[in-house]
Amino acid sequence: MSGNNIMIKSTGAYLPVKILTNKDLEKIVDTSDEWITTRTGIKTRRVAADHEATSDMAYEAAKIALKRANMDPQEVELIIVATITPDMFFPSTGCFVQDRLGAKNAVAMDVNAACSGYIYSLVIACKFLGTGSYKNAVIIGAEKLTSITNWEDRNTCVLFGDGAGASVLIPSNGESKLLAFDLGTDGSYGEELFMPGGGSRNPASIETVENKLHSIRMNGNTIFKVAVNKMKKTFTNSMGNAGITTEDISILIPHQANLRIIESLRKSLHLPKEKVHVNIDKYGNTSAASIAIGLNEVYEEGLIKRGDIIGFVAFGGGLTWGSAIIQY
């Protein structure tokens, strides 16, 4: 069996009940529905309840994916949670998910690659399964970004939402496979999109709280420019590695950061609108959960079938970027 013969057996997703509209945001910060829609493409986003942590949403998404895969939690061998909003620094969010699922035989860990986290987790899991180290994996992208949002910063508070998506991975006989991937990092851009407070450099204190260091900070103009270039380059690299062209792609599921970024990428790749999945208008930017939620959506809407070639591409804080092409 080829090391890349891996199947996404099933998917699941969880979106919190509460919906925050642009009109709601008009009452919180100096902004408008027109301003937000024109610049981002976002109309609504989901907000987790106060009692809901990232692991709670990850658990709900994973539970659905496991049920669809007809898999008992005790059969699970590897759990990877991609998140930048863990329940706490340690234990990992993966540990909480493992315990709540009852997946007593699974190794669990977190991956912090920001918005690229699902793709990083997909590649890591595929390589573990490809070597025979584990027989299956559950990869989850989950975020409670509203918990680290500065609601006084109109440039960032309009962007982010909460949610989780999960995928069950198993070996295949070649009918499904990871065709190619491409990952990248440039740490010199680290402080263009980051949360400065809470770690060992700026431990929690009265001053860090007062200065709102425990919330997302972003240089939007720089991020936009770099994102468009890196996403195009990484996906082009993956297509080259897979030996395919855009005509072979059944659907592209990009990270949902900004509709203008998605549209710029789509046009540069010469993809028709119907081949690019967009849900940013409903959910905003859910970081590592974004692609996982999108994949579950296209499954539930019957937009993909076995054998289809599906592309993933993302860009996030770090800066990180990545792409993957699978035969579903």
Tens digit of pLDDT for each residue in 214-229?
Answer: 999 999 999 999 999 9
CB 112 within 8 A of CB 120: no
CB 275 within 8 A of CB 249: yes
Residue found by looking up tokens 């993956």 in the block:
238
**Predicted local distance difference test score (pLDDT) of residue 2:** 62
Q: Average pLDDT, stretch 56-83?
A: 99
- The number of C-alpha atoms within 13 Å of 85 and in the hemisphere containing its C-beta is 30
- pLDDT of 1-53, one tens digit each? 467 999 999 999 999 999 999 999 999 999 999 999 999 999 999 999 999 99
**Catalytic annotation, residues:** 115, 255, 285
Per-residue pLDDT for 313 more than 50? yes
Q: Smallest Cα–Cα separation from 227: which of 253, 195, 252, 262?
A: 262
Cα dihedral sign, 152-43-321-265:
negative
Mean pLDDT value across the chain = 97
CA distance 59 to 62: 5
Give 247's contacts (C-beta < 8 A, 6+ positions apart). Answer: none
**Predicted local distance difference test score (pLDDT) of residue 1:** 43
**CATH numbers and ranges of domains, the chain:** 6-172 (3.40.47.10), 178-327 (3.40.47.10)
Q: How many residues does the chain have?
A: 328
- pLDDT of 241-277, one tens digit each? 999 999 999 999 999 999 999 999 999 999 999 999 9
Cβ neighbour number for residue 315 with a 10 Å cutoff? 28
Q: What would the two tokens of residue 150 be?
A: 């500065």
**Predicted local distance difference test score (pLDDT) of residue 229:** 96
Q: Smallest Cα–Cα separation from 142: which of 48, 223, 214, 70?
A: 48
- pLDDT of 167-214, one tens digit each? 999 999 999 999 999 999 999 999 999 999 999 999 999 999 999 999
CA distance 167 to 11: 4
Residue found by looking up tokens 């994973």 in the block:
62
**Predicted local distance difference test score (pLDDT) of residue 3:** 75
**Predicted local distance difference test score (pLDDT) of residue 87:** 98
- pLDDT of 109-147, one tens digit each? 999 999 999 999 999 999 999 999 999 999 999 999 999
Q: Average pLDDT, stretch 151-165?
A: 97
